[in-house]
Structure 1
Amino acid sequence: MDETPVTVQAVDDVGPDAIAVTFETPAGFTAEPGQFVRVVREFEDGETEGRYYTLSSPTVADTFEVTVDVAPDGVLGPWLAGRDPGDEVTVEGPFGEDYYQGEPSVLLLAGGPGVGPAVAIAERAMDAGAEVALVYQDEAPVHEPRLAALSDAGADVLVVTDAFEDAVATLADASDQAAFVYGFAAFCGAATDALEAEGFDTDAVKVESFGPEP
């Protein structure tokens, strides 16, 4: 989908300095959890600024959702946090090849904002009857109600601030799990190393790095 105006349906707080923005799905738009879109802000002088956000909704039907870090000095985050239902925002995409494709057993490793796609894939996989394990590292977790609901539904969920490798070792099973990694570059490197230590083929791991941590 080329740059297309979409309507904001809701903006919800989902944790410290984090929001979930729900958009009405435009005609012809389809995406899978783990793919991402580019959100574009146009300034009064005609200049534009775009940022990529990974879907945090398990499906795309009438609406889809992205989770956004709201750094006080950010360009897009505070602006999106100030949108009201009915406002229009320009979106392009989806992009990305590292998304859920019906794997029957998944291990999701998320750092910081990577929890958005992780919970989306976990929910989609649970709905499909798959086995789900999720390790989330963050000092200020977001989407806690969704994480709790996943745990209640039978997923193995560990939320940690440190001892990340130990948490991975607790839930990892290289014999049958498809591994997904989402987060900033340093986290993705550490997560890939942890998976390699547990016997995973790192060439088969689906990794989406959000670049250097700001």
Structure 2
Amino acid sequence: MEGTPVTVESVRDVGPDTVAIELETPESFSASPGQFVLLRAAPEDEEVSRHYTLSSPSVTDTFEITVGVDPDGDLSPWLADLDGGETVHVDGPFGTITYERDADVVAIAGGPGVGPAVSIAEAAREAGHDAVVVYQDDRPAHVERLEALAADGAEVTVLDAASDEELAAAIGTHVDDGRIYAFGFDEFVTLVAEAIEDAGGDPDDALIENFG
């Protein structure tokens, strides 16, 4: 199997059908919040690979990915059932969307985009910068980390999936409050880009990761 072998340190539930997987950081591995890795594993002795964006603010000894669990998926149910101590393989990091702890941030997330959004907001607060998180999901994940961010002074807004007008309003409120990052599926990030433009911002200046 290609990629670098790494040990699964832990797997924990972080929301409905969502787990956070902590992985051993390979030697010479360096990544910034916003980047992603290719994870390879062999459930049923057949290699399967998927891309996952980092959901930890740093990668010093371990790093984290957040996985939405599809009961019919080829990989995510297997990952969710791991106990820790198993080996998977990773390639990367990949991606040009990075946060270098150098600015205030507005992190906008739809569904599984909450992982990188939270990691960027945490990195910003650790570096002494302001952070805003706007998160749309009917079944929120990483609630404890969102609450911790709010307690630390970040402004956190969680919206249900039917609240597109509220999402646009929240983006309009914060469009000038920091460097904008957005993570989510195509329909969501398209709406985000439109809301940024409607609010007088430039969507081309936003760092937007489209999950497809």
TM (norm. structure 2) is 0.94
Moved more, 119-128 or 83-92: 83-92
Check whether the contact 1:55–1:116 (CA below 8 A) recurs between aligned residues. Answer: yes
For 1:169, give the aligned amino acid: G
How far apart, CA to CA, are the structure 2 residues paired with 1:144 and 1:101? 24
| Aligned-residue offset at 1:44 | 4.8
Aligned letter for 1:144?
A: V
SS of equivalent to 1:59: coil
1:17 is matched with 17
Deviation at 1:82, TM superposition (A): 1.4
Bigger shift: 9-18 or 202-211? 202-211
Q: CA deviation at 1:201?
A: 1.7
**1:103 Cα deviation after fit:** 3.5
Please tell me whether the aligned partners of residues 132 and 155 of structure 2 are also in contact (alpha carbons under 8 angstroms): yes
* Partner deviation per Cα, 1:109-148 (whole Å, 9 max, x = no partner): 1000000000000000001111111100000000000000
Q: Which residue of 2 aligns with 1:165?
A: 168
How far residue 99 of structure 1 moved from its aligned partner, in angstroms, is 1.4
TM-score by length of 1: 0.93
Distance 1:177 1:25 in 2: 30
Structure-1 separation of matches of 2:196 and 2:182: 10
1:74-117, Cα deviation, whole Å (9 max, x unpaired): 11110111112110011111000111123321111100000000
- Segments of 5+ residues of structure 1 without an aligned counterpart are none
Where has structure 1 moved over 3 Å in runs of 4 or more? none
Structure 1 contact 103–178 (Cα < 8 Å) conserved: no
Query: In the alignment, residue 166 of structure 1 is paired with which amino acid?
Result: A
- 2:75 — aligned with what? 76
CA contact (8 A) 1:136 1:159 kept: yes
Deviates more, 1:160-169 or 1:146-155: 160-169
SS where residue 58 of structure 1 aligns?
A: coil
Counting only pairs closer than 5 Å after superposition, residues 122-201 of structure 1 correspond to structure 2 as: 122-161=121-160, 162=163, 163-173=166-176, 177-201=178-202
**Partners of 2:182 and 2:110 in 1: CA distance:** 8
Q: CA deviation at 1:43?
A: 4.7
Could you say which residue in structure 1 is the equivalent of 2:96?
97
**Cα contact 2:3–2:89 (8 A) shared by 1:** yes
- 3-state secondary structure, aligned to 2:135: strand
3-state DSSP of counterpart to 2:187: helix
